[in-house]
Amino acid sequence: MNITSFAPLAVVLPILGAALTFLLIHYPRAQRAISIAVLTLTLLLECWLLASVWEGGTAAVDIGGWLPPWGIVLVVDQFSSLMLVVSSAVSLAVLIYATGQGMADGDRDAPVSIFHPTYLILVAGVSNAFLSGDLFNLYVGFEILLTASYVLITLGGTGPRIRAGVTYVVVSVVSSVLFLIAIAMIYGATGTINMADLAIKLGDLDQGTRTLLHVMLLVAFGIKAAVFPLSFWLPDSYPTAPAPVTAVFAGLLTKVGVYAMVRTETLLFPGDALNAPLMVAALLTMVVGILGALAQSDIKRLLSFTLVSHIGYMVFGLAMSTVAGLGAAVFYVAHHITIQTSLFLVTGLIERRGGSSSMDRVAGLAKLSPVLGVLFFVPAMNLAGIPPFSGFLGKLGLLQAGVELGTPLAYALVIGGVLTSLLTLLAIARVWNRAFWRKPEDAEHPDPVLLAAPEDSATGDRAGRTNVTLLPRTMVGSTLGLVVFGVALTVFAGPLFRVADQSAEEMLDRSPYIHAVLGEDVPVPPVPPAAQTGPRQQQGQPQGQPQGGGK
């Protein structure tokens, strides 16, 4: 029996865990143990899936024994299994961090008892969206993760969180309605919602209908992925949530949107019909996002804007629809999930240690807590794309692919990418200079607790606050783990780039996916404007090798 037939467990395990933790709502210790155990198990399973897919190729699982064009099918290919592994690793780290925070604060801040079940359901929704081979099941996956995220973003029900939650819920519901309308119209036009089947049948529609459906899907996913101009909601709603929640949202939710966009562009609507508008959107996302980041004085908000900005890089790679570009985008998604999440976790620690996440108040942290400095510095430099970190490798791959494509628009994006990278460095350096390097008394509104030198307080890590541990070991440990994972992405960039390029090749080829779902004897239609992608694919392949050497 093939291991890939266990793929549904990636969705079922977290849901079972959620049910168990919900039953044990009055036993916080059991809840913690169960949710961590369940996520660890899921992560192991997904690593196994990735390994088996790497050797055995794309595989599909028919749920309930219904055959593919009719029944729901889960598809495990290299891209989806890579996303599963990275997302589960990140969510496990965030869960441990949240558990540490809950234990340190004595679980009195918020109704934390519902945190664990909701969090596991969120993970299940993310897994379902990554695995789904059926458009409506993708919608259900989105809804599972969104409904869980509604609960998480309003956790505790304080004024600012409710305000942010309203924006978030309304925008998400509208995007879901758009997605559902697109599904209904696609079903009306083709009579199927199976993605492999659609890949064959959508090609028969006339150009106008196809463009309409394509645009509708892209708009729906663009809202979820926060692509400019549909990104307005993100910096507004993310920063108010608790630190671990913001971290997991920043890491995973937008990337699920990007994942869906990748599937739309490669599997359902291949060819470069909308590549030019996508490139313009990518450029605007990068530049407008990072300019927004420069204006912020709150670290969480600043990071939310960099999150929006860096989505632009992924859309850029996707819009090139070459193996080199798409491979770099896949690599960049994996890198960005890890880095952005660890930065938000560190910001949570900064908020604990410094009493605030506002750069007007926090200062002098490098002296107070050198560990925190290192934890912030490494992912921050990684985000800004300083060599030799994975951020640099990902951006380099994208820029190389852009230059190789050689159209004027691609060059504009290459310039925009470099500019955004520099501006990210500027934004990050501002945080570093203000929160870490300057003296506490230089802050605009310094926190009296920070001004008290650490050596004055009896216990070094409490600085005048006696009721809380400022840097609990679990929180620092899980953040450290994630930062190390980010560095590991750099060290193992060679193999990772190979996986990314291979998955990009498979996605652009489409036949492994379609054959895995519908059987080997199904003819795969050529990509509609076939003259465009065919030769480029050939060009792209040798380019994958030199990037692989970037260890």
CA distances 464 to 103, 109, 131, 440, 518, Å, are 20, 20, 49, 15, 65
The verdict on 462 binding another protein (CB under 8 A) reads no
In the complex, least distance from residue 155 CB atom to another protein, rounded to whole angstroms: 12
The verdict on 297 binding another protein (CB under 8 A) reads yes
The verdict on 109 binding another protein (CB under 8 A) reads no
The verdict on 184 binding another protein (CB under 8 A) reads yes
By beta-carbon proximity to another protein, the closer residue of 167 and 532 is 167
The verdict on 456 binding another protein (CB under 8 A) reads yes
Tell me which stretch binds another protein (CB under 8 A): 82-90, 201-209, 290-298, 486-494. Answer: 290-298
With CA atoms as reference, report the closest residue to 244 among 125, 130, 156, 371.
156
Tokens matching residue 490: 């750099």
The verdict on 188 binding another protein (CB under 8 A) reads yes
By beta-carbon proximity to another protein, the closer residue of 439 and 551 is 439
Interface with another protein: number of residues (CB under 8 A)? 54
Rounded to an integer, what distance in angstroms lies between the CA atom of residue 417 and that of residue 398? 9
The residues, ordered by sequence, that sit 6+ positions from 78 with a Cβ below 8 Å of its Cβ are: 50, 53, 54, 58, 499, 502, 503, 506
The verdict on 215 binding another protein (CB under 8 A) reads no
In the complex, least distance from residue 188 CB atom to another protein, rounded to whole angstroms: 4
ω into 229 cis (within 30 of 0): yes
Residues 110-149 within binding reach of another protein (CB under 8 A):
136, 140, 143, 147
Rounded to an integer, what distance in angstroms lies between the CA atom of residue 194 and that of residue 67? 11
Tell me which stretch binds another protein (CB under 8 A): 45-53, 187-195, 319-327, 386-394. Answer: 187-195
One-letter amino acid identity for 382? N
The verdict on 429 binding another protein (CB under 8 A) reads no
Contact status, residue 151 vs residue 22, Cβ threshold 8 Å: no
By beta-carbon proximity to another protein, the closer residue of 434 and 510 is 434
Rounded to an integer, what distance in angstroms lies between the CA atom of residue 400 and that of residue 402? 5
Tell me which of 9, 47, 452, 524 binds another protein, using CB under 8 A: 452
Tokens matching residue 433: 């200079």
Tell me which of 57, 163, 212, 474 binds another protein, using CB under 8 A: 163
The verdict on 299 binding another protein (CB under 8 A) reads no
Contact status, residue 266 vs residue 370, Cβ threshold 8 Å: no
Q: What DSSP string describes 46-72? A: HHHHHHHHHHH--EEEEGGG--TTTS-
The verdict on 239 binding another protein (CB under 8 A) reads yes
Contact status, residue 192 vs residue 69, Cβ threshold 8 Å: yes
The verdict on 180 binding another protein (CB under 8 A) reads yes
The verdict on 437 binding another protein (CB under 8 A) reads no
Length of the chain: 551
In the complex, least distance from residue 391 CB atom to another protein, rounded to whole angstroms: 25
The verdict on 446 binding another protein (CB under 8 A) reads yes
In the complex, least distance from residue 60 CB atom to another protein, rounded to whole angstroms: 19
Rg (CA), the chain: 23
Tell me which of 296, 341, 369, 382 binds another protein, using CB under 8 A: 296
In the complex, least distance from residue 287 CB atom to another protein, rounded to whole angstroms: 18
- Per residue, the 3-state secondary structure of 372-433, as one string, reads HHHHHHHHHHHHHCCCCCHHHHHHHHHHHHHHHHCCHHHHHHHHHHHHHHHHHHHHHHHHHH
Q: For residues 111-127, b (16+ Cβ closer than 10 Å) or e, as one string? A: ebbbbbbbbbbbbbbbb
Tell me which of 6, 150, 377, 485 binds another protein, using CB under 8 A: 150
CA distances 142 to 179, 183, 261, 263, 411, Å, are 10, 13, 13, 14, 34
By beta-carbon proximity to another protein, the closer residue of 19 and 173 is 173
In the complex, least distance from residue 61 CB atom to another protein, rounded to whole angstroms: 20
The verdict on 448 binding another protein (CB under 8 A) reads yes
In the complex, least distance from residue 300 CB atom to another protein, rounded to whole angstroms: 9
Tell me which of 39, 95, 183, 334 binds another protein, using CB under 8 A: 183
Rounded to an integer, what distance in angstroms lies between the CA atom of residue 330 and that of residue 315? 10
Tell me which of 23, 44, 51, 166 binds another protein, using CB under 8 A: 166
The verdict on 468 binding another protein (CB under 8 A) reads no
Tell me which of 44, 173, 276, 491 binds another protein, using CB under 8 A: 173
The verdict on 488 binding another protein (CB under 8 A) reads no
Rounded to an integer, what distance in angstroms lies between the CA atom of residue 115 and that of residue 123? 12
In the complex, least distance from residue 369 CB atom to another protein, rounded to whole angstroms: 16
Backbone dihedral angles phi then psi of residue 443, each to the nearest 5 degrees: -65, 155
How many helices and strands (H and E) does the chain possess?
Answer: 23, 2
Q: Would the CA dihedral through 496, 515, 316, 148 be positive or negative?
A: negative
By beta-carbon proximity to another protein, the closer residue of 453 and 531 is 453
Tell me which stretch binds another protein (CB under 8 A): 251-259, 281-289, 339-347, 452-460. Answer: 452-460
Tell me which of 170, 403, 415, 418 binds another protein, using CB under 8 A: 170
Q: Which residues bind another protein (CB under 8 A)?
A: 136, 140, 143, 147, 150-151, 154, 157-160, 162-167, 169-170, 173-174, 176-177, 180-181, 183-185, 187-188, 193, 236, 239, 295-298, 301, 360, 434, 438-446, 448, 451-453, 456
